[in-house]
Every structure is written in C-alpha cells, then in structure tokens.
A = this chain, B = another copy of it.
Amino acid sequence: MIAAPISAQSGGDVARSYREVHEVEILKDFAELLSYPNSARDLDDITRAAEYIRDELLEVGVDSELLQLEGVPPIVYGELNVPGATRTLGIYVHYDGQPVDPSNWTHPPFEPTLYTAPIPQGGRELPMPDPGDSIDPAWRLYARSAGDDKAPIAALLPVLRAFRESGTQSTSNLILFFDGEEEAGSRNLPRYMETFKERLDPIDIWLFFDGPAHPSGRPQITFGVRGSMGMEVTVYGATRNLHSGHYGNWAPDTGVILSRLLVSMKDETGRVLVDGWYDTADLIGDEERAALAAMPAWDNQLKRELGIVRSEGEPESLPQRLMVPALNIRGITSGNTGALARNVIPNTAVAALGIRLVKGNEPEHLRQLIIDHIQREGFHVISEDPDMETRLRYPLIAKVTGGGGSRAARTSMSNPFAQSVMAAASVAADRAFGQGSLVVAPGMGGTLPITPFTEILQKPAIIVPVANHDNNQHAPDENLRIANLWYAIDLYAQLLTMPATIF
C-alpha cells in the first residue's frame, strides 16, 4: 500500500456532491453513450460515436475536435488549458469496442439494460430510473463497452461539468486523446501520433483510463501491460471432408492431429513447452517483487467465484503468472458439434492461439519459436493452404498465420509522476472503497496500446482502471457495476486536482 500524503482536495468534494445530486442523469447519459455501436470495423458507426463524444466534451468546456486520418476511425481530441498550470496530463481512453455476436447476448449489446445484480447471480432487469429515484451502487448496466472502455468517458464528463459549474480548476492542463480502434489493434495510433506530435509533446505523463479493477473488487493502479499477438494454426487431412463410415479408422483424424500438436505446447501444470519460451522475459526488480508480495492473496476467492479448482501454474499466484509470457487457445474449429455435427472426418482443424508478451519479449521472436516448435513436432509449416504437391509430400502439414502484435511496456514505480498519481488514486480509493483499499500492481495481464506512447512520444504511462473485474470484457453480457462508475468520478476528481508541488 502507498501512504497517502495528500489530504482530500476540494475537487474531490465538488465531484462527489455533484454526483450524489445527479446520479440518475449521469446514469442516463452513460446509457446514451453506450447506445452508439462502436466496432472499429464500421467506419460510419465509429464516426457517429466519435462525433457524439466530441459534442459532449464541447458542452463541458473542453476544446474538442476529431483528428481524422482518411479511412480510419478518428481520434476524439480535447484540450483544457488551465491558466498558470505548469504540467499537462494526457488522458487516454478508447471509445471503440470488441465486435459483437448479438445472438449470444441476453439483451442487444447496444440497448443498455439495468440489472439489480449480475445476470448469472439472479439479477433482475430494472427500468431506467426516473429523476429523484435512488440508485443502488450494486446495480449493473449491461451493454458492449460498459466496462471496456466507455465508463471513463461517462465519469470524466460529470467531473468536468461539476468543476465548471462550481468554478473548480484542474491543477494540470489536460489533453484528451480517445482512440477509436483499440480493439482492432490501434493500428493507426503511431501514424496519428506522428501526424499530431506537436499537440501531444506538452504532455508530461499519460494516464490510461482502461482495464478492470483488482479481482477482489478493490481499485488498482498498474504500471505495465502485456503485449498481445494472435496466431492461427491449421492442420490438414484429406482434400475434402470424408464420410466417417466409409473412411473412419483410415483417414487422417484432423481433430486428433491438432490436439497432439496443442498438447505438445503446454504441459498439465500450464507450463509452455515451446523451446526458449521463457528465455527473453525481463526479470522483475525488487520494487515489483515487493509490490507483488503486498498484493492481496486473492486466488482462492477468484477460483471460488469462477468455479475452478486448479489454476495454471499453481502454486504461483495470478499476479506472478502475469510476469511471464502466456500461450492460450482462443478457439478451436473443426467440423461441427451439437445439432450441426455430421458424420464426417473434417478435412481441417484450426486453432487460434492467443499469446501475451511481457517486457523483453519481441513478438516476431515468440512467433518464430512457435513455428520452430511446430516443425520439431514433425509438421511441414506453410503460410497458405497446401497445393496437391505439398499434400503428397508431407504427412503432417500446418499452416501458420497471424503474428504481428504488440510488445509489452512497464513504467518504473520510482518515477516521480508515478508517485504523485499513486497518492491521488490512494485518496480516491480510500474514499470510495475504504482505507488502504488501493492495490498497486506492477503489471496487468491485458494489453493496452501503451507502447507507442512510451516508444514514440517517450513519456511515462500509468494505467488507472475503474471497471469491475467481472465486467465480461470482450465477451457477451459486458457490464459495469454502478459503484465503479462512482469510484471513477472520485478518482478523476483527485487526479485533476493533484497538488502542483509534487511534480
């Protein structure tokens, strides 16, 4: 835990009072924001969402506009210059969301719906409240991007409005920079940064408003993210699906062939067996080790909540496991199961691999290690579907695609900006969730597009998440717990009024 040298600022009081009076209004504004479809792949949708957010920012006094490179999602950009302020905070949020398959959602993903509790725990649907109704902070608002990552926008707007109405000043200049394609890999972020570098150069430190709280429900602050890379492996049987009666026991069984390859990559304890997998990960330092040791022992609780008996890598804890690169199966597809299952031996089996990198790992290097491994398992590795000549030459063939992806990043915990942000977050956490509730994590497991900030702009970056850990991020029935929205309001008010003396 970080000591909290700063007492609560009046900014915090202002925001909290404003929120208590305007809870219904804030919730309804959030629901409106969530009603904008926001897959980065639909340029019309994402532009409509961007324009809405820009207009909302203008209304609370932020000098806002869309930065627009042709044919890609815009950046929602905003400036709030404070007379006399000597430092500038960069605030990163992404307003796009993961693609949705509405058939798996309880409600349409862009029709925000209120529940008394999580749906699987028996939550009941509620109508949106009327002015004057009281709101239970245990309620959940269900919609795509409720947790990842529109909640920060919904919390920042009322803070700015409260400050404006009360004449409260931020102690830093603010530059808002809202990404429109984080879930699609933030492919154009480096180009945006280079094109608009002059505007971003004044920023002293970046705050990433993204990610979930600690699984304990306690708020957290994080100094690093893992990198991410997706790959796909396809193995081949006959040139066509074969009737399982006429050819069963004779035709190559693609499901088993793929299974054998996947099993060769990971042992029963969760250790990745790809040669060299752990060799390039940076060792963590004393500060990170101390922070890991101070983190709550939450694994058993989390396992009870998720209904699992055994985690990968036991007895190492989840925070420890996030310090080494991960290899997971994101999906397997071969033939069909359930009502669509047919009596065939599928001619291919496909596995989508999810790789998470830690500091020190290069995506291309890990990709090559996986390819080397597949070759050592006896497969001829190709990058396109095999032609007949290839099929007839090699008994085992694997097509490997994907790669690219992003490196991990980590900001030193001894950075003076970091100290300041930790202190402000600690005050907000104490206020919202009780004394000493802030969890300080050296690294989070997820991936944010932090590398361009640290590598192109060369500025430190700290991740300040607000969403509940069980927000179903990236999955159907994504949701935000209302208490976490209230915490976000407390938190942002503290960050915007950090004393100028600290840095």
B346 touches A330 (CB 8 A): yes
B324 touches A334 (CB 8 A): no
A263 touches B270 (CB 8 A): no
A31 to B162, CA, bound (A): 74
A268 touches B260 (CB 8 A): yes
B329 touches A332 (CB 8 A): no
* A15: Cβ under 8 A from any B Cβ: no
Query: A314's closest neighbor in chain B, by CB?
Result: B250
A332 touches B309 (CB 8 A): no
Please indicate the chain B residues that have their CB under 8 angstroms from the CB of A255 in the complex.
Answer: 262, 328-332, 351
A245 and B228 in contact, given A254-B329, A342-B474 (Cβ under 8 angstroms) = yes
A308 to B346, CA, bound (A): 13
* A196: Cβ under 8 A from any B Cβ: no
Please indicate the chain B residues that have their CB under 8 angstroms from the CB of A332 in the complex.
Answer: 255, 258-259, 332-335, 337, 349
Query: A272's closest neighbor in chain B, by CB?
Result: B249
A344 to B326, CA, bound (A): 13
* A395: Cβ under 8 A from any B Cβ: yes
A245 and B226 in contact, given A308-B238, A329-B256 (Cβ under 8 angstroms) = yes
Q: CB within 8 Å of B: which of A458-491? A: 469, 472-476
B446 touches A246 (CB 8 A): yes
Q: CB within 8 Å of B: which of A260-280? A: 260, 262-263, 265-266, 268, 270
Please indicate the chain B residues that have their CB under 8 angstroms from the CB of A236 in the complex.
Answer: 307
What are the interface flags for A236-250 relative to B under an 8 Å C-beta threshold, 1 for contact and 0 otherwise? Answer: 111111111111111
Which one of A164-172, A284-292, A365-373, A386-394 is at the interface?
A386-394
B338 touches A330 (CB 8 A): no
A356 touches B120 (CB 8 A): no
What are the interface flags for A373-415 relative to B under an 8 Å C-beta threshold, 1 for contact and 0 otherwise? Answer: 0000000000000101001111100000000000000000000
A176 to B352, CA, bound (A): 50
Please indicate the chain B residues that have their CB under 8 angstroms from the CB of A469 in the complex.
Answer: 246
Given contacts A246-B473, A256-B265, A259-B262, 11 further A-B contacts (CB under 8 A): A230-B343, A232-B338, A245-B445, A248-B445, A249-B322, A308-B392, A329-B345, A331-B346, A332-B334, A344-B475, A345-B354
Which A residues have a C-beta under 8 Å from some C-beta of B?
98-99, 101, 120, 211-212, 225-226, 228, 230, 232, 236-256, 258-260, 262-263, 265-266, 268, 270, 303-304, 306-313, 318, 321-322, 324-338, 340-346, 349-352, 354, 356, 386, 388, 391-395, 444-447, 469, 472-476
Sample of 11 A–B contacts (CB below 8 Å): A245-B445, A246-B473, A247-B318, A248-B356, A249-B328, A250-B322, A255-B262, A255-B330, A309-B391, A333-B337, A343-B447
